[in-house]
Chains A and B, each alone.
Chain A
Amino acid sequence: MSLWVKDLRFDYRSFSLRVRDLRIEEARLTAIVGPNGAGKTTLLKCLCALLPVAKDSLFLGRRDIALLSAEERARLIAYVPQEHGSAFNYAVQDFVLMGRAAYIPLLSTPAAADVEIALEALAYVGLRRYASRPYFELSSGERRLVLIARALAQKSDILVLDEPTTFLDPKHETELMDLVRRLAVEKKKTVLLTLHNLDMAVKHADAIVFMKNGGVVAAGAPDDILDEALLESVYEIKMSILRHEGRRFIVK
């Protein structure tokens, strides 16, 4: 399922977000990059309707997101926050199970099928063996994977991740990016994430969206849009694009 940002506005105190006519292709990995304060996280939250969105501004597939109920929306798009802090130390499995909330009626408890789906999601991220462990006993990288598993349990076509690689060491960073790439390729999910690390974006993403000051500066496949002039205009410092062994590297 693709995403179409027709005309999105969001105003918050001194900050304004305005994005028009942005398409996120389905079954692709799209990275949103830009300097701090560009509005990446705000855009992400609007895409998930976590911030109020006006009618006729944002479409998931053909559906206007503002017209969807919370449940319907959660079945179409899943959100992976950067972090999760909680007063309660749930077992990992119970945590992931919460991803089924959009499918379980208010007065019911999860069925065996729901538990199966949760365990499958855990297995996909490689943490099946941790099912009974308390969430906070896991390392931060593993916790990140659990959050992704929860989002997978939602069985949505679109997956949105907010800075999933922050605080991860290079090895785990790479593993995580491989994982989300597989989600796009194998599971045909539309994966959208924000990244600080431009190299990662360039290496793994099918499409990159450059944001600055609450707007989109450029969007498209790296081959099509990436050049030094663009980088300088977005980040306001001189950068060079180097090629080595067939790969691109951004050097400041």
Chain B
Amino acid sequence: MTRKQRVLGWLVILFPFVVFFISLSVGVVRIPLGDVFKALLSPFFPAMKEGLPENVLGIVLGVRLPRLLLAFLAGAGLSVSGASLQALSKNPLVNEYILGISSGAAFGASLSIVIFRQSFPPQVSAFLFAVVAVVIVLAISRKSDSPIVSLLLTGIIVSAFFSALLSLVEFFASPYALQGLFYWLMGNLGWPGWGALSISLPLMATGTAGLILMRWRMNVLSMSDEEARALGVNLGREKLIVVILATLVTSAVTSVAGIIGWVGLIVPHLVRMMAGVDNRRVVPLSAALGAGYLILADDLARGLAASFEIPVGIFTSLIGIPFFILLLRKSKRIWL
């Protein structure tokens, strides 16, 4: 690795932490960084509260901190899931929802929002059905001859099936429930409170950590099935572990924040363009870049206009796609 690459690598790792802290002070109400730190420390050192304007505590600890933590972990998690599934399916054009997670989660959320309401919160239902979708995909694709192609194909089919179920639920929904559902589908990092996050954040962190630990293994898993087996990999078991971890992370994100697309596809690609295809670098750098990217996108979503808020999922698409096209055209070396 050259000196320049090393420096770049460290910059990428530091990037999300820097934007995290800066973003804590950015928003409808401008809060100077000093006050931000005081507010952050105040649960441990109550004396820090003195002198702070009254709404600062509520804003920093109650509004921005959970939101930014979620953006950080969701961005990291989605990127790492995307990178892992790309390695697994030996295809850099695969995204983190390819196993049917987004459709399953959407259907689960619709069941909750439209039919069950309080007795079955959308987060739980979304998570449950996301996992169900993946289980179905795995079960079906196991039976066929060519495991990887059928994994993707089955993912597409199962996604379509859950989309159809979703449409069915939408059909019977009252306009009020329908509205709620559509907003859920578009992705919003601002909804979940500390309650929901206390469960989903650890899930995201665990899954992401597991995938990062497996980063070298993914090089081997990106070989053809035959080669990977010849190299001594217990293919069935290791693929399952990666799928489980990626599903855990992506479902945890989707269940609290809705569907935020174009993170798991774009970020690993960007990293590969900068740092090559070795997953020892791609996976952790994707986590870092993804975290920073989603924080920035969310800053835009909530800061662009004071009085209305565009769902972040729309932003990640609107930013991600053109940027990606630009980079593809400029880059001479595409590590494909």
Contacts and interface: CB of A to CB of B under 8 A. Distances in A.
Interface in A184-228: none
A94 B336 contact: no
A71 B237 CA distance: 13
A104 to B, nearest CB: 7
A94 B92 contact: no
Contacts of A107: 210, 213-214, 217
A71 B232 contact: yes
A75 B232 contact: yes
Contact of A109 (B215, B226, B228): B215
A87 B229 CA distance: 18
A192 to B, nearest CB: 14
Nearest to A69: B234
Contacts of B224: 81, 84-86
A50 B214 contact: no
A102 interface: yes
A50 B232 contact: no
Contacts of A19: none
B297 to A, nearest CB: 27
Interface in B176-219: 210, 213-217, 219
B325 interface: no
B227 A84 contact: yes
Contact of A86 (B213, B214, B223, B276): B223
B233 A101 contact: yes
A88 interface: yes
Contacts of A123: none
Contacts of B138: none
Nearest to A93: B278
B232 A90 contact: no
Interface string A88-129: 111100100111011010111110000000000000000000
Contacts of B135: none
Contacts, number: 91
Contacts of A86: 90, 222-224
Contact of A70 (B215, B222, B227, B232): B232
A48 interface: yes
Contacts of A49: 229
A98 B220 contact: yes
A15 B228 CA distance: 25
Nearest to B91: A87
B66 to A, nearest CB: 30
A110 B216 contact: yes
B323 interface: no
Given A81-B226, A85-B224, A88-B222, A74 B231 contact: yes
A4 interface: no
Contacts of A50: 226, 229-230
Contacts of A74: 230-233
Interface in A219-245: none
Contact of A102 (B91, B219, B232): B232
B230 A79 contact: yes
Interface of B: 87, 90-92, 210, 213-217, 219-220, 222-224, 226-235, 238, 241, 276-278, 280, 335-336
19 contacts: A50-B226, A70-B234, A73-B232, A74-B233, A86-B90, A86-B222, A86-B224, A87-B92, A88-B90, A89-B277, A89-B335, A90-B278, A94-B278, A98-B219, A101-B220, A101-B232, A106-B214, A107-B217, A154-B231
Given A70-B235, A89-B277, A107-B213, 19 more contacts: A45-B226, A48-B230, A50-B230, A70-B234, A71-B234, A86-B223, A88-B87, A88-B92, A88-B335, A89-B336, A90-B219, A99-B231, A101-B232, A102-B231, A104-B216, A107-B210, A107-B214, A109-B215, A109-B280
Interface of A: 45, 48-50, 69-71, 73-75, 78-79, 81, 84-91, 94, 97-99, 101-102, 104, 106-110, 134, 150, 154
